Amino acid sequence: MQSEAVAGIEVPGEAAPGRSAEALLAVDNIEVVYDEVILVLRGISLAVGRGEVVALLGPNGAGKSTTLKAISGLLHAEDGAVTRGSILFDGERLNGVAPDRVVRRGLIQVMEGRRIVEDMTVLENLRLGAHTRRDRGVGEDIERMLAWFPRLRERTGLAGYLSGGEQQMLAIARALMARPRLILMDEPSMGLSPLLVREVFEVIRRINRDTGVTVLLVEQNARLALQIADYGYVLDQGKIVLDGSAERLTGNEDVREFYLGQDRGARKSFKNLKSFKRRKRWL
Protein backbone atom coordinates (compact mmCIF):
# COMPACT_ATOMS: atom_id res chain seq x y z
CA MET A 1 0.00 0.00 0.00
CA GLN A 2 1.29 3.42 -0.91
CA SER A 3 0.79 5.95 1.85
CA GLU A 4 2.43 8.79 3.69
CA ALA A 5 2.61 9.22 7.45
CA VAL A 6 0.48 11.89 9.07
CA ALA A 7 1.23 12.31 12.77
CA GLY A 8 1.77 8.60 13.23
CA ILE A 9 -1.31 7.44 11.31
CA GLU A 10 -1.39 6.25 7.73
CA VAL A 11 -3.17 8.05 4.94
CA PRO A 12 -4.42 5.03 2.98
CA GLY A 13 -5.05 4.50 -0.67
CA GLU A 14 -6.88 1.30 0.28
CA ALA A 15 -8.13 -0.49 3.37
CA ALA A 16 -5.69 -0.59 6.26
CA PRO A 17 -3.12 -3.39 5.95
CA GLY A 18 -4.09 -6.62 7.70
CA ARG A 19 -7.70 -5.53 8.28
CA SER A 20 -9.38 -6.94 5.17
CA ALA A 21 -8.35 -10.60 5.57
CA GLU A 22 -10.81 -11.37 8.39
CA ALA A 23 -13.24 -8.54 7.65
CA LEU A 24 -16.98 -9.10 7.74
CA LEU A 25 -17.32 -6.05 5.47
CA ALA A 26 -14.65 -5.07 2.95
CA VAL A 27 -15.10 -1.97 0.78
CA ASP A 28 -12.42 -1.79 -1.90
CA ASN A 29 -11.73 1.37 -3.89
CA ILE A 30 -15.34 2.30 -4.65
CA GLU A 31 -16.46 5.38 -6.53
CA VAL A 32 -20.02 6.71 -6.32
CA VAL A 33 -21.60 8.97 -8.91
CA TYR A 34 -24.95 10.79 -8.63
CA ASP A 35 -27.02 11.68 -11.69
CA GLU A 36 -24.29 10.10 -13.86
CA VAL A 37 -22.06 13.18 -13.48
CA ILE A 38 -21.43 14.10 -9.83
CA LEU A 39 -18.52 12.18 -8.32
CA VAL A 40 -19.11 11.95 -4.54
CA LEU A 41 -16.86 9.12 -3.36
CA ARG A 42 -13.37 8.86 -4.84
CA GLY A 43 -11.76 5.52 -4.18
CA ILE A 44 -13.10 4.67 -0.70
CA SER A 45 -11.62 1.59 0.98
CA LEU A 46 -12.38 0.38 4.47
CA ALA A 47 -12.76 -2.84 6.42
CA VAL A 48 -14.96 -3.79 9.38
CA GLY A 49 -13.91 -6.84 11.38
CA ARG A 50 -16.35 -9.29 12.95
CA GLY A 51 -17.67 -8.05 16.27
CA GLU A 52 -16.08 -4.61 15.94
CA VAL A 53 -17.50 -1.14 16.30
CA VAL A 54 -15.94 0.98 13.55
CA ALA A 55 -16.48 4.75 13.40
CA LEU A 56 -16.64 6.70 10.13
CA LEU A 57 -15.96 10.35 10.92
CA GLY A 58 -15.74 13.54 8.92
CA PRO A 59 -17.34 16.93 8.24
CA ASN A 60 -20.75 17.52 6.70
CA GLY A 61 -20.75 16.70 3.00
CA ALA A 62 -17.72 14.41 3.20
CA GLY A 63 -19.68 11.43 1.87
CA LYS A 64 -20.31 9.44 5.05
CA SER A 65 -24.02 8.77 4.49
CA THR A 66 -23.34 8.04 0.82
CA THR A 67 -20.85 5.38 1.90
CA LEU A 68 -23.49 3.66 4.03
CA LYS A 69 -26.08 3.82 1.26
CA ALA A 70 -23.59 2.34 -1.20
CA ILE A 71 -23.09 -0.60 1.16
CA SER A 72 -26.79 -1.16 1.92
CA GLY A 73 -27.93 -0.80 -1.70
CA LEU A 74 -29.99 2.36 -1.21
CA LEU A 75 -28.19 4.62 -3.69
CA HIS A 76 -30.57 3.90 -6.57
CA ALA A 77 -33.37 5.74 -4.72
CA GLU A 78 -31.33 8.95 -5.08
CA ASP A 79 -30.08 8.37 -8.64
CA GLY A 80 -26.71 7.26 -7.33
CA ALA A 81 -24.58 4.29 -8.37
CA VAL A 82 -21.34 2.56 -7.48
CA THR A 83 -19.34 2.90 -10.70
CA ARG A 84 -16.08 1.34 -9.60
CA GLY A 85 -14.70 -1.00 -6.96
CA SER A 86 -16.26 -3.77 -4.92
CA ILE A 87 -18.23 -4.24 -1.70
CA LEU A 88 -17.93 -7.65 -0.04
CA PHE A 89 -20.03 -8.81 2.90
CA ASP A 90 -18.86 -12.05 4.45
CA GLY A 91 -17.02 -12.75 1.20
CA GLU A 92 -20.05 -12.21 -1.05
CA ARG A 93 -20.30 -9.29 -3.45
CA LEU A 94 -22.99 -6.69 -2.68
CA ASN A 95 -22.61 -4.56 -5.80
CA GLY A 96 -25.98 -4.38 -7.53
CA VAL A 97 -27.81 -6.46 -4.90
CA ALA A 98 -31.32 -5.17 -4.07
CA PRO A 99 -31.73 -3.64 -0.57
CA ASP A 100 -34.19 -6.32 0.61
CA ARG A 101 -31.73 -9.05 -0.32
CA VAL A 102 -28.96 -7.17 1.50
CA VAL A 103 -31.14 -7.25 4.63
CA ARG A 104 -31.76 -10.98 4.19
CA ARG A 105 -28.01 -11.53 4.10
CA GLY A 106 -27.74 -9.97 7.56
CA LEU A 107 -26.85 -6.33 6.91
CA ILE A 108 -29.25 -3.53 7.84
CA GLN A 109 -29.05 0.26 8.03
CA VAL A 110 -30.52 2.53 10.71
CA MET A 111 -31.20 5.65 8.69
CA GLU A 112 -30.39 9.21 9.69
CA GLY A 113 -33.42 10.87 11.28
CA ARG A 114 -34.74 7.56 12.72
CA ARG A 115 -37.39 6.92 9.99
CA ILE A 116 -39.80 4.95 12.18
CA VAL A 117 -43.39 4.43 10.99
CA GLU A 118 -45.13 7.07 13.06
CA ASP A 119 -48.70 5.85 12.62
CA MET A 120 -47.82 2.37 13.85
CA THR A 121 -47.42 1.33 17.48
CA VAL A 122 -44.10 0.33 19.03
CA LEU A 123 -44.99 -3.36 18.72
CA GLU A 124 -46.05 -2.97 15.10
CA ASN A 125 -42.75 -1.26 14.29
CA LEU A 126 -40.85 -4.11 15.95
CA ARG A 127 -42.80 -6.73 14.03
CA LEU A 128 -42.10 -4.80 10.83
CA GLY A 129 -38.38 -5.14 11.54
CA ALA A 130 -38.76 -8.93 11.43
CA HIS A 131 -40.65 -9.06 8.12
CA THR A 132 -37.79 -10.90 6.35
CA ARG A 133 -37.76 -13.70 8.92
CA ARG A 134 -39.61 -17.01 8.70
CA ASP A 135 -38.72 -18.49 12.11
CA ARG A 136 -40.86 -18.70 15.24
CA GLY A 137 -38.64 -16.61 17.48
CA VAL A 138 -40.13 -13.19 16.66
CA GLY A 139 -42.16 -13.00 19.87
CA GLU A 140 -39.13 -13.89 21.99
CA ASP A 141 -37.06 -11.24 20.24
CA ILE A 142 -39.74 -8.60 20.84
CA GLU A 143 -39.56 -9.40 24.56
CA ARG A 144 -35.79 -9.13 24.38
CA MET A 145 -36.04 -5.71 22.74
CA LEU A 146 -38.47 -4.49 25.39
CA ALA A 147 -36.08 -5.73 28.08
CA TRP A 148 -33.17 -3.90 26.47
CA PHE A 149 -35.27 -0.76 25.93
CA PRO A 150 -37.66 -0.67 28.93
CA ARG A 151 -39.04 2.74 27.98
CA LEU A 152 -40.59 1.20 24.87
CA ARG A 153 -42.59 -1.27 26.95
CA GLU A 154 -44.33 1.65 28.63
CA ARG A 155 -45.32 3.29 25.32
CA THR A 156 -48.54 1.73 24.04
CA GLY A 157 -49.65 4.53 21.68
CA LEU A 158 -48.45 5.45 18.21
CA ALA A 159 -44.70 5.67 17.69
CA GLY A 160 -45.02 9.23 16.39
CA TYR A 161 -45.72 10.40 19.95
CA LEU A 162 -42.44 9.04 21.31
CA SER A 163 -39.68 11.43 22.30
CA GLY A 164 -36.66 11.79 20.01
CA GLY A 165 -34.56 9.49 22.18
CA GLU A 166 -37.31 6.88 22.35
CA GLN A 167 -37.74 6.99 18.57
CA GLN A 168 -34.01 6.40 18.13
CA MET A 169 -34.15 3.44 20.50
CA LEU A 170 -37.12 2.07 18.56
CA ALA A 171 -35.22 2.45 15.28
CA ILE A 172 -32.29 0.49 16.71
CA ALA A 173 -34.57 -2.17 18.23
CA ARG A 174 -36.47 -2.52 14.93
CA ALA A 175 -33.16 -3.10 13.12
CA LEU A 176 -32.14 -5.75 15.66
CA MET A 177 -35.42 -7.59 15.03
CA ALA A 178 -33.98 -8.63 11.65
CA ARG A 179 -31.21 -10.48 13.54
CA PRO A 180 -28.46 -8.71 11.57
CA ARG A 181 -24.79 -9.55 11.66
CA LEU A 182 -23.85 -5.96 10.76
CA ILE A 183 -25.71 -2.72 11.51
CA LEU A 184 -24.93 0.53 9.72
CA MET A 185 -25.88 3.46 11.96
CA ASP A 186 -26.18 6.92 10.44
CA GLU A 187 -25.95 9.81 12.94
CA PRO A 188 -27.77 8.17 15.89
CA SER A 189 -27.16 11.27 18.05
CA MET A 190 -28.83 13.73 15.64
CA GLY A 191 -31.40 15.98 17.32
CA LEU A 192 -30.96 14.49 20.80
CA SER A 193 -30.06 16.19 24.06
CA PRO A 194 -26.57 15.48 25.46
CA LEU A 195 -28.04 13.22 28.13
CA LEU A 196 -29.97 11.15 25.58
CA VAL A 197 -26.95 11.02 23.28
CA ARG A 198 -24.92 9.33 26.00
CA GLU A 199 -27.76 6.93 26.70
CA VAL A 200 -28.04 5.95 23.03
CA PHE A 201 -24.28 5.40 22.76
CA GLU A 202 -24.34 3.24 25.86
CA VAL A 203 -27.09 1.18 24.20
CA ILE A 204 -24.92 0.74 21.09
CA ARG A 205 -21.97 -0.33 23.23
CA ARG A 206 -24.11 -2.81 25.19
CA ILE A 207 -25.65 -4.33 22.05
CA ASN A 208 -22.22 -4.89 20.53
CA ARG A 209 -20.84 -6.37 23.74
CA ASP A 210 -23.81 -8.60 24.58
CA THR A 211 -24.78 -9.84 21.11
CA GLY A 212 -21.60 -9.59 19.08
CA VAL A 213 -23.38 -7.59 16.36
CA THR A 214 -20.86 -5.67 14.26
CA VAL A 215 -21.46 -1.91 13.93
CA LEU A 216 -20.31 0.63 11.34
CA LEU A 217 -21.12 3.99 12.89
CA VAL A 218 -21.35 7.35 11.10
CA GLU A 219 -21.35 10.12 13.67
CA GLN A 220 -20.66 13.84 13.99
CA ASN A 221 -19.90 13.50 17.70
CA ALA A 222 -16.40 12.18 17.14
CA ARG A 223 -15.51 12.15 20.82
CA LEU A 224 -18.31 9.77 21.83
CA ALA A 225 -17.94 7.67 18.69
CA LEU A 226 -14.26 7.02 19.40
CA GLN A 227 -15.06 6.15 23.01
CA ILE A 228 -17.05 3.09 21.92
CA ALA A 229 -15.23 2.26 18.68
CA ASP A 230 -12.41 -0.21 18.10
CA TYR A 231 -11.23 1.41 14.90
CA GLY A 232 -11.95 4.57 12.95
CA TYR A 233 -11.73 6.16 9.51
CA VAL A 234 -11.79 9.88 8.73
CA LEU A 235 -13.52 10.81 5.48
CA ASP A 236 -12.95 14.20 3.86
CA GLN A 237 -14.03 15.39 0.40
CA GLY A 238 -14.99 11.88 -0.68
CA LYS A 239 -11.71 10.22 0.34
CA ILE A 240 -10.42 8.32 3.37
CA VAL A 241 -7.67 10.56 4.72
CA LEU A 242 -6.84 8.93 8.06
CA ASP A 243 -7.43 5.60 9.72
CA GLY A 244 -6.29 3.88 12.88
CA SER A 245 -7.37 2.43 16.20
CA ALA A 246 -9.75 4.58 18.22
CA GLU A 247 -6.97 5.24 20.71
CA ARG A 248 -4.54 6.40 18.03
CA LEU A 249 -7.12 8.61 16.34
CA THR A 250 -8.07 10.20 19.66
CA GLY A 251 -4.44 11.08 20.26
CA ASN A 252 -3.78 12.34 16.74
CA GLU A 253 -3.04 16.06 16.59
CA ASP A 254 -5.15 16.75 13.48
CA VAL A 255 -8.14 14.75 14.71
CA ARG A 256 -7.98 16.49 18.08
CA GLU A 257 -8.03 19.92 16.49
CA PHE A 258 -10.50 19.44 13.64
CA TYR A 259 -12.92 16.88 15.12
CA LEU A 260 -12.49 16.86 18.89
CA GLY A 261 -12.14 20.63 19.35
CA GLN A 262 -8.77 20.39 21.06
CA ASP A 263 -5.33 21.70 20.20
CA ARG A 264 -2.66 20.56 22.66
CA GLY A 265 -4.85 21.61 25.54
CA ALA A 266 -4.99 25.26 24.41
CA ARG A 267 -8.26 27.12 24.72
CA LYS A 268 -9.59 28.31 21.37
CA SER A 269 -10.47 31.94 20.88
CA PHE A 270 -13.61 33.25 19.16
CA LYS A 271 -11.67 34.36 16.07
CA ASN A 272 -10.79 30.74 15.30
CA LEU A 273 -14.43 29.86 14.71
CA LYS A 274 -14.32 31.34 11.21
CA SER A 275 -11.27 29.46 10.00
CA PHE A 276 -9.09 26.60 11.07
CA LYS A 277 -5.98 27.56 12.97
CA ARG A 278 -3.94 25.06 11.02
CA ARG A 279 -4.63 23.70 7.55
CA LYS A 280 -5.50 20.01 7.45
CA ARG A 281 -2.25 18.33 6.48
CA TRP A 282 -3.95 15.69 4.34
CA LEU A 283 -5.34 18.28 1.86
Q: Which residues have a Cβ under 8 Å from the Cβ of 136 and sit 6 or more positions away?
A: none
Q: In the prediction, which pLDDT does 269 show?
A: 43
Whether the CB-CB separation of 44 and 28 falls below 8 Å is answered with no
DSSP string, 153-221: HH--SBGGGS-HHHHHHHHHHHHHTT--SEEEEE-TTTT--HHHHHHHHHHHHHHHHHH--EEEEE-S-
Q: In the prediction, which pLDDT does 8 show?
A: 38
Q: In the prediction, which pLDDT does 179 show?
A: 94
* Domains observed in the chain: 4-117+180-264 (3.40.50.300)
Beta bridge mates, 157: none
Burial of 224 (0-12, 13-18, 19+ CB in 10 A): buried
Q: In the prediction, which pLDDT does 217 show?
A: 96
Q: How far apart are CA 229 and CA 140, in angstroms?
A: 29
What parts of the chain have a pLDDT lower than 50? Answer: 1-15, 17-18, 264-276
Q: In the prediction, which pLDDT does 259 show?
A: 79
Whether the CB-CB separation of 233 and 54 falls below 8 Å is answered with yes
- Reported as a single tens digit per residue, the pLDDT across 191-219 is 888 888 888 899 899 999 999 999 999 98
Q: Which of 47, 67, 50 is nearest to 58 (CA)?
A: 67
Q: In the prediction, which pLDDT does 12 show?
A: 43
- Reported as a single tens digit per residue, the pLDDT across 78-105 is 999 999 999 999 999 999 999 999 999 9
Q: How far apart are CA 6 and CA 8, in angstroms?
A: 5
Whether the CB-CB separation of 30 and 80 falls below 8 Å is answered with no
- Give all strands (DSSP E) within 206-264, no chain letters: 214-218, 231-236, 239-245
Q: How far apart are CA 102 and CA 131, in angstroms?
A: 14
Coil, helix or strand for 89? strand
Q: How far apart are CA 73 and CA 100, in angstroms?
A: 9
